[in-house]
Amino acid sequence: MFILVNLKAYPCDPIEVATAARDVADASGVRVAVAPQAADLSRVAETDVETWAQHVSPNAHGSHTGSTLAEAVADNGAEGTLINHSENRLKLADVDGSVRAAERAGLETVVCANNPTQVGAAAALGPDAVAVEPPELIGGDVSVSTADPGIVEDAVDAAAAVDPAVDVFCGAGVSTGADVAAAGDLGATGILLASGVAKADDPEAALEDLVSGI
């Protein structure tokens, strides 16, 4: 099971969270990564936690002001990237372009999707994983694995029907070890979460609870 913590633009200390994630990963043997703001990538990577970008743009080098270049995030220590998060939606052609850009830079990819139909479409683009995240549950107190377990099972089936090599992650409302265990039982191989750790008074304790479900 892979736990990927998206710090979004929350007013947390990215180094505190990164250090906690590194320590919990080392102690538990569970793969834990942190996706900070782009400006914090290199600082977070220096903690030796697995570091991910929150987004990469579908372009290469050139006249692309405001873009997040895949090569740049890789050069600053990122090992993977989220693509098409519900708070940063892309057109399908741009999702494809971002996946290709990430591959070019040697980055692992997780494409976010709202529902099983979108999971199937995303899987067809050949990312490493797809994360199913119903937008109405993002940032809430109820995880998708509890509120709508069928959507996780259907997402797993949709990805397998298109490309069995694409993993399925579960996101939206995940915050406890019980949520992680439930997601695993439904066929998910990873967890994508944000506020459950980024907003926690004690990020390390929150992460320890999460890995307890594995």
pLDDT tier for residue 182 given thresholds of 50, 70 and 90 = confident
Residue 203 to residues 17, 57, 102, 135, 139, Cα–Cα distance (Å): 6, 29, 29, 24, 16
Q: What is the pLDDT of residues 21-58, one digit of tens each?
A: 999 999 999 999 999 999 999 999 999 999 999 999 99
Q: What is the pLDDT of residues 64-114, one digit of tens each?
A: 999 999 999 999 999 999 999 989 999 999 999 999 999 999 999 999 999
Domain range annotation of the chain? 2-211
Task: Tell me which CATH code domain 2-211 carries.
Answer: 3.20.20.70
- The DSSP output letter for 186 is T
Annotated catalytic residues are: 85, 133
Residue 37: how many other CB atoms lie within 10 Å = 14
Q: What is the pLDDT of residues 109-152, one digit of tens each?
A: 999 999 999 999 999 999 999 999 875 555 555 555 555 678 88
182 vs 42: which has the higher pLDDT: 42
